[in-house]
Every structure is written in C-alpha cells, then in structure tokens.
Amino acid sequence: MIDKILLAVDGSLNAVRATDLAAELAAKLNADLSIVHVLMHGRPSAELVHMAEVEHLVEEAHAVVSPGIAYVTGSHPEVLGASATDPRYARVIAALGDQLVTRAKARCADQGVKKIETDVRAGDYAEEILDAAKDFKADMVVIGSRGLGLLKSTVLGSVSQKVLHHAECSVVTVR
C-alpha cells in the first residue's frame, strides 16, 4: 500500500510533470505527500536562470531578500551569477527553493491532495532526496528523469539514476 509519497522538485519541466503525477497518485490513493527541493550549489545552469525568469521567481525572491527595494527587470543575472560567497546569492537561492516548493504544493492542492508538507534542504542532491525519503518513511519517490543539468542527452540524469538505484522504496521517474 502506498501511504506516503515523496516528490522531488527542481523547477525543470520534468519536475512539473512529476508534480502532476505525484498529485494524481496522492489524491487517488489518499496518500500523504511530501515535497522536497535541494538547494543548488555552484553556479546556476542557464536553464535555471531561464526558468526563474519566465516564472518570475527571481522577482518574488527579490521581494523576500530585499523587501522594500524595487526589483529592476534584468538585474537577476547579477545576483544569480554572483559568487557563492556573496550573501545575496545564498538568500536568492534559498528564496527560489521556497518558491518552487510553494508552487508545487499549490499545484498539488489544486489537484485534490489533502495532506502536503514541504522541505527545502541543502547538500548533495541525490543524498538529500534519499535522506528525505527515509525521514518521511516514503513508500514511493516521484522524480523527474532529468533536471536542469547540462547533459540533456542522457536518458536518466545522475540524480534520478542514483535515487533509483539506492532508494529503499519504489521510485517513479517521469519524462
């Protein structure tokens, strides 16, 4: 029986598809849903910058990081491209992560999921997802087949592949 589903999100198109599948399964099975996002480390990929721009996530993150200071369109590359030691960088990345799980939670609630919790973590992507699955006592992990990384030609991304091979529960990868 599947009572608890863990959904891993990163803002990619595959993660949106995974969100929809996890929501459908959780609603039909009346399962608890936990949504996890692992904060990125290193410089953001071009795909993340584009996604953040299209989804207006940077503008929303800016409002959290710098309340009362007007957002200037086009200023996001300065912060997203900043050194990881720049305090603004860490705050924006954390705010982006919060926005991703908040949006995923709203999308799942709209599809009828009753019990949803969210978690934003920092560390190795796959290890944090595996730890979250154990912490939540997940019966199933739902994850996009590949995220925002550079290797678009791989069938499974390195994170989803590691989760698939090391999880102690069922894993559904979504394309």
Instruction: Write down all domains in the chain, each with its CATH number in brackets.
Output: 4-174 (3.40.50.620)
pLDDT of residue 136: 98
What whole-number distance in Å separates Cα of residue 1 and Cα of residue 7? Answer: 17
What whole-number distance in Å separates Cα of residue 170 and Cα of residue 160? Answer: 12
Query: Which residue reads 């009828």 in tokens?
Result: 112
What whole-number distance in Å separates Cα of residue 132 and Cα of residue 118? Answer: 10
Neighbours of 62 (CB within 10 A): 22
What whole-number distance in Å separates Cα of residue 143 and Cα of residue 129? Answer: 9
pLDDT of residue 148: 52
pLDDT of residue 158: 87
pLDDT of residue 53: 57
DSSP assignment of 81-101 equals TS-TTSHHHHHHHHHHHHHHH
Q: What is the DSSP letter of 43?
A: S
What whole-number distance in Å separates Cα of residue 115 and Cα of residue 31? Answer: 8
3-state secondary structure of 140: strand
Q: Which mean pLDDT values do the consecutive 10-residue runs of the chain (175 residues) have?
A: 96 92 98 94 55 58 60 53 62 83 97 97 94 98 76 62 96 95
- The answer to pTM > 0.85 is no
